[in-house]
Structure 1
Amino acid sequence: MSRSLFALIFAVITCSAHATGTAKVSAHAAPMGDAARGKEIATTVCAACHGADGNSLIPVNPTLAGQSYDYLLKQMTNFKAADGQPALRANAVMGGMIAPYDLGQMRDLAAYFATQTAKPGAAKNEATIKLGQTIYRRGDASKGLPACASCHGPTGAGIPAQYPRVGGQHADYAEVQLKAFRDGTRANDPAKIMRTIALKMTDAEIKAVTDYMAGLH
Protein backbone atom coordinates (compact mmCIF):
# COMPACT_ATOMS: atom_id res chain seq x y z
CA MET A 1 0.00 0.00 0.00
CA SER A 2 1.40 3.42 -0.94
CA ARG A 3 2.11 6.01 1.75
CA SER A 4 -0.35 8.45 0.16
CA LEU A 5 -3.14 5.85 0.08
CA PHE A 6 -2.45 4.91 3.71
CA ALA A 7 -2.65 8.57 4.72
CA LEU A 8 -5.93 8.97 2.87
CA ILE A 9 -7.50 5.90 4.48
CA PHE A 10 -6.30 6.96 7.94
CA ALA A 11 -7.68 10.46 7.41
CA VAL A 12 -11.09 9.16 6.33
CA ILE A 13 -11.28 6.91 9.40
CA THR A 14 -10.20 9.76 11.66
CA CYS A 15 -12.68 12.22 10.24
CA SER A 16 -15.49 9.67 10.40
CA ALA A 17 -14.80 9.14 14.09
CA HIS A 18 -14.70 12.89 14.64
CA ALA A 19 -17.98 13.35 12.80
CA THR A 20 -19.62 10.79 15.07
CA GLY A 21 -18.23 12.52 18.14
CA THR A 22 -19.54 15.90 16.99
CA ALA A 23 -23.03 14.76 16.08
CA LYS A 24 -24.52 16.71 18.98
CA VAL A 25 -22.73 19.86 17.85
CA SER A 26 -23.68 19.53 14.19
CA ALA A 27 -27.40 19.53 14.81
CA HIS A 28 -28.79 22.90 15.92
CA ALA A 29 -30.69 22.29 19.14
CA ALA A 30 -32.05 25.84 18.97
CA PRO A 31 -32.45 28.63 16.41
CA MET A 32 -29.44 30.66 15.37
CA GLY A 33 -28.67 33.63 17.55
CA ASP A 34 -29.24 37.27 16.66
CA ALA A 35 -26.09 38.80 15.20
CA ALA A 36 -27.25 42.35 15.94
CA ARG A 37 -27.62 41.59 19.64
CA GLY A 38 -24.31 39.76 19.58
CA LYS A 39 -22.61 42.81 18.11
CA GLU A 40 -23.55 44.87 21.17
CA ILE A 41 -21.65 42.48 23.42
CA ALA A 42 -18.79 41.81 21.00
CA THR A 43 -17.94 45.45 20.38
CA THR A 44 -18.00 46.41 24.04
CA VAL A 45 -16.68 43.31 25.83
CA CYS A 46 -14.90 41.02 23.37
CA ALA A 47 -13.25 43.68 21.22
CA ALA A 48 -10.26 44.27 23.49
CA CYS A 49 -8.94 40.75 22.91
CA HIS A 50 -10.58 39.57 19.68
CA GLY A 51 -11.19 42.79 17.77
CA ALA A 52 -14.56 44.46 17.31
CA ASP A 53 -15.18 42.45 14.14
CA GLY A 54 -13.54 39.27 15.43
CA ASN A 55 -10.19 39.90 13.72
CA SER A 56 -7.76 39.75 16.61
CA LEU A 57 -4.65 41.92 16.43
CA ILE A 58 -3.04 40.00 19.29
CA PRO A 59 -1.26 36.83 18.05
CA VAL A 60 -2.01 34.80 21.19
CA ASN A 61 -5.74 35.54 20.97
CA PRO A 62 -7.72 33.76 18.25
CA THR A 63 -9.40 35.42 15.33
CA LEU A 64 -13.10 34.60 15.58
CA ALA A 65 -14.36 36.24 12.40
CA GLY A 66 -15.72 33.75 9.90
CA GLN A 67 -15.49 30.81 12.30
CA SER A 68 -18.47 28.45 12.12
CA TYR A 69 -21.46 29.21 14.32
CA ASP A 70 -21.54 25.72 15.83
CA TYR A 71 -17.85 25.71 16.69
CA LEU A 72 -18.02 29.13 18.33
CA LEU A 73 -21.08 28.15 20.35
CA LYS A 74 -19.48 24.88 21.45
CA GLN A 75 -16.33 26.61 22.67
CA MET A 76 -18.27 29.23 24.62
CA THR A 77 -20.45 26.64 26.31
CA ASN A 78 -17.37 24.51 27.03
CA PHE A 79 -15.67 27.44 28.75
CA LYS A 80 -18.59 27.80 31.16
CA ALA A 81 -18.98 25.67 34.27
CA ALA A 82 -22.56 24.46 34.72
CA ASP A 83 -24.69 22.37 37.04
CA GLY A 84 -21.88 22.09 39.58
CA GLN A 85 -19.56 20.58 36.98
CA PRO A 86 -16.23 22.13 35.93
CA ALA A 87 -15.88 23.65 32.48
CA LEU A 88 -15.02 21.17 29.73
CA ARG A 89 -12.42 23.61 28.43
CA ALA A 90 -10.44 25.03 31.31
CA ASN A 91 -9.32 28.62 30.77
CA ALA A 92 -9.21 31.12 33.61
CA VAL A 93 -9.64 34.16 31.37
CA MET A 94 -12.41 32.88 29.14
CA GLY A 95 -14.13 31.13 32.02
CA GLY A 96 -14.45 34.46 33.77
CA MET A 97 -15.46 36.35 30.63
CA ILE A 98 -18.23 33.96 29.58
CA ALA A 99 -19.63 33.37 33.08
CA PRO A 100 -22.18 36.26 33.02
CA TYR A 101 -23.76 35.21 29.73
CA ASP A 102 -26.59 32.77 29.22
CA LEU A 103 -27.04 30.39 26.30
CA GLY A 104 -29.11 32.87 24.33
CA GLN A 105 -26.41 35.52 24.56
CA MET A 106 -23.75 33.00 23.56
CA ARG A 107 -25.84 32.13 20.50
CA ASP A 108 -26.00 35.83 19.67
CA LEU A 109 -22.23 36.19 19.96
CA ALA A 110 -21.64 33.09 17.84
CA ALA A 111 -23.99 34.43 15.16
CA TYR A 112 -22.22 37.79 15.10
CA PHE A 113 -18.67 36.48 14.82
CA ALA A 114 -19.66 33.78 12.32
CA THR A 115 -21.04 36.43 9.95
CA GLN A 116 -17.92 38.62 10.04
CA THR A 117 -15.24 38.42 7.35
CA ALA A 118 -11.88 37.06 8.41
CA LYS A 119 -8.89 39.05 7.23
CA PRO A 120 -6.17 37.00 5.50
CA GLY A 121 -3.13 36.00 7.52
CA ALA A 122 0.35 35.11 6.32
CA ALA A 123 3.00 32.48 6.92
CA LYS A 124 6.13 34.13 8.31
CA ASN A 125 8.81 31.44 8.30
CA GLU A 126 9.97 30.59 4.77
CA ALA A 127 12.32 27.91 6.13
CA THR A 128 9.43 25.75 7.36
CA ILE A 129 6.87 26.31 4.60
CA LYS A 130 7.63 23.01 2.87
CA LEU A 131 7.38 20.98 6.07
CA GLY A 132 4.18 22.74 7.11
CA GLN A 133 2.65 22.21 3.67
CA THR A 134 3.56 18.51 3.68
CA ILE A 135 1.99 17.92 7.09
CA TYR A 136 -1.11 19.92 6.23
CA ARG A 137 -1.69 18.35 2.82
CA ARG A 138 -0.32 14.83 3.24
CA GLY A 139 0.34 14.13 6.90
CA ASP A 140 2.96 11.50 7.72
CA ALA A 141 1.87 7.92 7.11
CA SER A 142 5.00 6.56 8.78
CA LYS A 143 3.64 7.58 12.18
CA GLY A 144 -0.08 7.57 11.44
CA LEU A 145 -0.37 11.35 11.21
CA PRO A 146 -3.31 12.28 8.95
CA ALA A 147 -3.35 15.28 6.65
CA CYS A 148 -4.89 18.33 8.32
CA ALA A 149 -6.62 19.14 5.01
CA SER A 150 -8.68 15.95 5.22
CA CYS A 151 -10.82 17.53 7.95
CA HIS A 152 -10.07 21.26 7.71
CA GLY A 153 -10.12 21.52 3.93
CA PRO A 154 -7.46 22.54 1.39
CA THR A 155 -7.81 26.23 2.22
CA GLY A 156 -8.32 25.75 5.96
CA ALA A 157 -11.98 26.83 5.79
CA GLY A 158 -13.07 23.80 7.78
CA ILE A 159 -16.42 22.05 7.54
CA PRO A 160 -19.10 24.01 9.41
CA ALA A 161 -20.56 22.22 12.44
CA GLN A 162 -17.80 19.62 12.42
CA TYR A 163 -14.31 21.00 11.85
CA PRO A 164 -13.26 24.60 12.60
CA ARG A 165 -11.69 27.12 10.26
CA VAL A 166 -7.91 27.13 10.71
CA GLY A 167 -6.86 29.10 7.63
CA GLY A 168 -5.60 32.56 8.56
CA GLN A 169 -5.60 31.78 12.28
CA HIS A 170 -2.74 33.27 14.28
CA ALA A 171 0.13 30.78 14.33
CA ASP A 172 0.99 31.64 17.94
CA TYR A 173 -2.52 30.79 19.10
CA ALA A 174 -2.79 27.63 17.00
CA GLU A 175 0.60 26.42 18.25
CA VAL A 176 -0.44 26.83 21.87
CA GLN A 177 -3.66 24.92 21.24
CA LEU A 178 -1.97 21.97 19.54
CA LYS A 179 0.49 21.71 22.40
CA ALA A 180 -2.38 21.92 24.88
CA PHE A 181 -4.11 19.03 23.10
CA ARG A 182 -0.83 17.11 23.17
CA ASP A 183 -0.25 17.50 26.90
CA GLY A 184 -3.93 17.09 27.77
CA THR A 185 -4.48 20.55 29.24
CA ARG A 186 -7.10 21.07 26.55
CA ALA A 187 -9.44 18.12 26.39
CA ASN A 188 -12.72 19.25 24.84
CA ASP A 189 -12.12 17.59 21.46
CA PRO A 190 -14.78 14.98 20.60
CA ALA A 191 -13.50 11.40 20.70
CA LYS A 192 -10.02 12.69 21.63
CA ILE A 193 -9.30 13.22 17.94
CA MET A 194 -7.05 16.28 18.29
CA ARG A 195 -5.31 14.87 21.36
CA THR A 196 -4.50 11.70 19.43
CA ILE A 197 -3.19 13.64 16.45
CA ALA A 198 -1.15 16.14 18.47
CA LEU A 199 0.58 13.32 20.35
CA LYS A 200 2.16 12.28 17.05
CA MET A 201 3.65 15.72 16.40
CA THR A 202 6.98 17.21 17.44
CA ASP A 203 7.40 20.84 18.46
CA ALA A 204 9.02 21.56 15.10
CA GLU A 205 6.11 20.00 13.20
CA ILE A 206 3.54 21.90 15.23
CA LYS A 207 5.34 25.20 14.64
CA ALA A 208 5.72 24.52 10.92
CA VAL A 209 2.12 23.54 10.28
CA THR A 210 0.60 26.35 12.34
CA ASP A 211 2.72 28.90 10.49
CA TYR A 212 1.62 27.36 7.19
CA MET A 213 -2.06 27.44 8.23
CA ALA A 214 -1.78 31.13 9.05
CA GLY A 215 -1.16 31.81 5.36
CA LEU A 216 -4.04 29.73 4.03
CA HIS A 217 -7.01 31.52 2.50
Structure 2
Amino acid sequence: MAKLLYITVNPKNDIKLSKGMQLGEAFLEEFKQQKPDVEIEHMHLYDMDIPQIDMDLLYARAKLSFMGKTFDELTEGEQKQITAMHALADRFIAADYYVFVTPIWNFGSPAILKAFLDNLFIVNKTFVNTHEGAKGLLTNRKALHIQTRGGIYSTGPMAEFEFGDRFLTKVLGFLGMEVMPTVFAEGMDHFPKQVPEIMAKAKEQVIEAAREMAKETVTV
Protein backbone atom coordinates (compact mmCIF):
# COMPACT_ATOMS: atom_id res chain seq x y z
CA MET A 1 0.00 0.00 0.00
CA ALA A 2 1.29 3.45 -0.93
CA LYS A 3 1.83 5.99 1.86
CA LEU A 4 1.53 9.76 2.08
CA LEU A 5 3.57 11.47 4.79
CA TYR A 6 1.80 14.63 5.98
CA ILE A 7 4.26 16.87 7.85
CA THR A 8 2.99 19.91 9.74
CA VAL A 9 5.41 22.49 11.13
CA ASN A 10 3.57 24.89 13.42
CA PRO A 11 3.17 25.00 17.22
CA LYS A 12 -0.53 25.62 16.59
CA ASN A 13 -1.54 21.98 16.58
CA ASP A 14 -5.17 22.91 16.00
CA ILE A 15 -6.75 23.26 12.60
CA LYS A 16 -8.99 26.06 13.89
CA LEU A 17 -5.94 28.17 14.73
CA SER A 18 -3.71 27.36 11.76
CA LYS A 19 -4.57 28.53 8.27
CA GLY A 20 -1.81 26.33 6.90
CA MET A 21 -3.35 23.24 8.45
CA GLN A 22 -6.73 24.25 7.06
CA LEU A 23 -5.19 24.20 3.61
CA GLY A 24 -3.45 20.93 4.43
CA GLU A 25 -6.74 19.32 5.44
CA ALA A 26 -8.34 20.49 2.19
CA PHE A 27 -5.50 18.78 0.33
CA LEU A 28 -5.91 15.55 2.31
CA GLU A 29 -9.66 15.41 1.78
CA GLU A 30 -9.27 15.67 -1.98
CA PHE A 31 -6.30 13.32 -2.10
CA LYS A 32 -8.22 10.66 -0.15
CA GLN A 33 -11.09 10.96 -2.60
CA GLN A 34 -8.70 10.47 -5.50
CA LYS A 35 -6.69 7.68 -3.81
CA PRO A 36 -8.81 6.13 -1.05
CA ASP A 37 -6.41 3.20 -0.63
CA VAL A 38 -3.38 5.34 0.29
CA GLU A 39 -2.20 5.24 3.91
CA ILE A 40 -1.69 8.69 5.47
CA GLU A 41 0.80 9.21 8.30
CA HIS A 42 0.82 12.55 10.11
CA MET A 43 4.06 13.92 11.57
CA HIS A 44 3.53 17.04 13.66
CA LEU A 45 7.12 18.09 14.29
CA TYR A 46 6.38 19.98 17.51
CA ASP A 47 5.10 16.73 19.05
CA MET A 48 8.23 14.79 18.15
CA ASP A 49 11.59 14.24 19.79
CA ILE A 50 13.81 15.11 16.84
CA PRO A 51 17.54 14.31 17.10
CA GLN A 52 19.64 17.47 17.06
CA ILE A 53 23.13 17.67 15.58
CA ASP A 54 24.88 17.87 18.95
CA MET A 55 28.39 16.68 19.81
CA ASP A 56 27.35 13.02 20.01
CA LEU A 57 25.60 12.99 16.65
CA LEU A 58 28.33 15.01 14.98
CA TYR A 59 31.05 12.60 16.09
CA ALA A 60 28.96 9.51 15.45
CA ARG A 61 28.48 10.52 11.82
CA ALA A 62 32.16 11.30 11.38
CA LYS A 63 33.35 8.09 12.98
CA LEU A 64 31.07 5.93 10.85
CA SER A 65 31.50 7.79 7.57
CA PHE A 66 35.22 8.42 7.22
CA MET A 67 37.04 7.49 10.43
CA GLY A 68 36.67 3.75 9.95
CA LYS A 69 34.83 3.10 13.22
CA THR A 70 32.03 0.59 13.72
CA PHE A 71 28.76 1.15 15.57
CA ASP A 72 30.05 -0.89 18.55
CA GLU A 73 33.00 1.48 18.87
CA LEU A 74 30.78 4.50 19.42
CA THR A 75 30.06 5.87 22.88
CA GLU A 76 26.67 5.17 24.44
CA GLY A 77 25.52 8.71 23.66
CA GLU A 78 26.72 8.48 20.07
CA GLN A 79 24.95 5.15 19.57
CA LYS A 80 21.71 6.58 20.93
CA GLN A 81 21.80 9.63 18.67
CA ILE A 82 22.80 7.85 15.47
CA THR A 83 20.16 5.16 16.06
CA ALA A 84 17.48 7.81 16.51
CA MET A 85 18.65 9.60 13.38
CA HIS A 86 18.42 6.50 11.22
CA ALA A 87 15.05 5.54 12.70
CA LEU A 88 13.62 8.92 11.74
CA ALA A 89 15.15 8.74 8.27
CA ASP A 90 13.71 5.24 7.79
CA ARG A 91 10.22 6.52 8.68
CA PHE A 92 10.63 9.25 6.11
CA ILE A 93 11.99 6.98 3.39
CA ALA A 94 9.05 4.57 3.79
CA ALA A 95 6.61 7.03 2.18
CA ASP A 96 5.77 7.59 -1.47
CA TYR A 97 4.09 11.00 -1.30
CA TYR A 98 5.01 13.96 0.92
CA VAL A 99 3.18 17.12 1.92
CA PHE A 100 4.85 19.76 4.09
CA VAL A 101 2.75 22.51 5.68
CA THR A 102 4.78 25.42 7.07
CA PRO A 103 4.57 29.15 7.77
CA ILE A 104 7.30 31.60 6.89
CA TRP A 105 8.92 33.10 9.98
CA ASN A 106 11.56 35.82 9.70
CA PHE A 107 12.30 34.96 6.06
CA GLY A 108 12.56 31.18 6.71
CA SER A 109 10.79 28.15 8.13
CA PRO A 110 10.58 27.33 11.85
CA ALA A 111 13.94 26.06 13.13
CA ILE A 112 12.46 22.67 13.98
CA LEU A 113 12.07 21.94 10.28
CA LYS A 114 15.82 22.43 9.72
CA ALA A 115 16.51 20.06 12.62
CA PHE A 116 14.18 17.50 11.04
CA LEU A 117 15.76 17.80 7.60
CA ASP A 118 19.26 17.42 9.09
CA ASN A 119 18.33 13.81 9.88
CA LEU A 120 17.71 13.03 6.22
CA PHE A 121 21.22 13.69 4.93
CA ILE A 122 22.67 10.20 5.27
CA VAL A 123 25.19 9.08 2.69
CA ASN A 124 24.37 5.75 1.02
CA LYS A 125 20.85 5.90 2.44
CA THR A 126 19.29 9.06 1.02
CA PHE A 127 22.07 10.12 -1.35
CA VAL A 128 25.37 8.91 -2.74
CA ASN A 129 28.51 10.71 -3.82
CA THR A 130 29.56 10.02 -7.41
CA HIS A 131 32.25 11.36 -9.72
CA GLU A 132 29.61 13.70 -11.14
CA GLY A 133 28.58 14.91 -7.68
CA ALA A 134 25.94 13.95 -5.14
CA LYS A 135 22.92 11.99 -6.35
CA GLY A 136 19.65 11.64 -4.41
CA LEU A 137 18.31 8.17 -3.80
CA LEU A 138 14.69 9.09 -2.92
CA THR A 139 13.50 8.89 -6.49
CA ASN A 140 9.99 8.00 -7.73
CA ARG A 141 8.47 10.11 -4.96
CA LYS A 142 6.36 13.25 -5.21
CA ALA A 143 6.43 16.14 -2.75
CA LEU A 144 4.44 19.33 -2.20
CA HIS A 145 5.02 22.33 0.03
CA ILE A 146 2.06 24.36 1.32
CA GLN A 147 3.24 27.63 2.85
CA THR A 148 1.39 30.48 4.57
CA ARG A 149 2.88 33.98 4.46
CA GLY A 150 1.92 37.12 6.32
CA GLY A 151 3.70 39.29 3.74
CA ILE A 152 4.20 39.25 -0.01
CA TYR A 153 7.20 37.18 -1.09
CA SER A 154 6.25 35.96 -4.56
CA THR A 155 7.02 39.30 -6.17
CA GLY A 156 8.40 42.68 -5.22
CA PRO A 157 11.23 43.73 -2.90
CA MET A 158 10.73 40.87 -0.41
CA ALA A 159 11.02 38.06 -2.97
CA GLU A 160 14.77 37.74 -2.44
CA PHE A 161 14.22 37.29 1.31
CA GLU A 162 12.10 34.13 1.00
CA PHE A 163 14.33 31.28 2.21
CA GLY A 164 11.80 28.86 3.72
CA ASP A 165 10.23 27.43 0.58
CA ARG A 166 13.45 27.84 -1.36
CA PHE A 167 15.43 25.78 1.14
CA LEU A 168 12.86 23.03 1.61
CA THR A 169 12.23 22.45 -2.08
CA LYS A 170 15.96 22.44 -2.84
CA VAL A 171 16.53 19.81 -0.13
CA LEU A 172 13.75 17.57 -1.45
CA GLY A 173 15.03 17.92 -4.99
CA PHE A 174 18.57 17.13 -3.85
CA LEU A 175 17.29 13.92 -2.26
CA GLY A 176 15.85 12.88 -5.62
CA MET A 177 12.16 13.74 -5.31
CA GLU A 178 9.85 15.23 -7.89
CA VAL A 179 8.84 18.51 -6.24
CA MET A 180 5.55 20.03 -7.33
CA PRO A 181 5.03 23.82 -7.57
CA THR A 182 4.53 25.25 -4.09
CA VAL A 183 1.07 26.39 -3.05
CA PHE A 184 1.20 29.52 -0.91
CA ALA A 185 -1.31 31.84 0.71
CA GLU A 186 0.39 35.18 1.15
CA GLY A 187 -0.31 38.72 2.30
CA MET A 188 -2.65 37.76 5.12
CA ASP A 189 -1.05 40.10 7.65
CA HIS A 190 -0.75 42.92 5.13
CA PHE A 191 -4.32 42.60 3.89
CA PRO A 192 -6.41 41.16 6.76
CA LYS A 193 -9.72 42.08 5.12
CA GLN A 194 -8.76 39.96 2.11
CA VAL A 195 -7.94 36.81 4.10
CA PRO A 196 -11.14 34.95 3.05
CA GLU A 197 -10.33 35.60 -0.61
CA ILE A 198 -6.67 34.64 -0.18
CA MET A 199 -7.61 31.40 1.57
CA ALA A 200 -10.29 30.54 -0.98
CA LYS A 201 -7.80 30.91 -3.83
CA ALA A 202 -5.17 28.83 -2.01
CA LYS A 203 -7.75 26.16 -1.23
CA GLU A 204 -8.57 25.83 -4.92
CA GLN A 205 -4.88 25.45 -5.62
CA VAL A 206 -4.29 22.73 -3.00
CA ILE A 207 -7.26 20.78 -4.30
CA GLU A 208 -5.84 20.96 -7.80
CA ALA A 209 -2.42 19.95 -6.44
CA ALA A 210 -4.00 16.93 -4.72
CA ARG A 211 -5.57 15.84 -7.98
CA GLU A 212 -2.28 16.32 -9.81
CA MET A 213 -0.30 14.37 -7.20
CA ALA A 214 -2.82 11.54 -7.30
CA LYS A 215 -2.69 11.20 -11.10
CA GLU A 216 0.44 9.07 -11.20
CA THR A 217 1.11 6.03 -9.11
CA VAL A 218 4.59 6.24 -7.66
CA THR A 219 6.54 3.12 -6.83
CA VAL A 220 9.42 3.06 -4.38
Instruction: Indicate whether the TM-score tops 0.5.
Output: no
**Greater percentage in helix:** 1
Give the TM-score normalised by the residue count of structure 1.
0.28
Please identify the structure whose Cα radius of gyration is greater: 2
Task: Tell me which protein shows more strand as a share of its residues.
Answer: 2
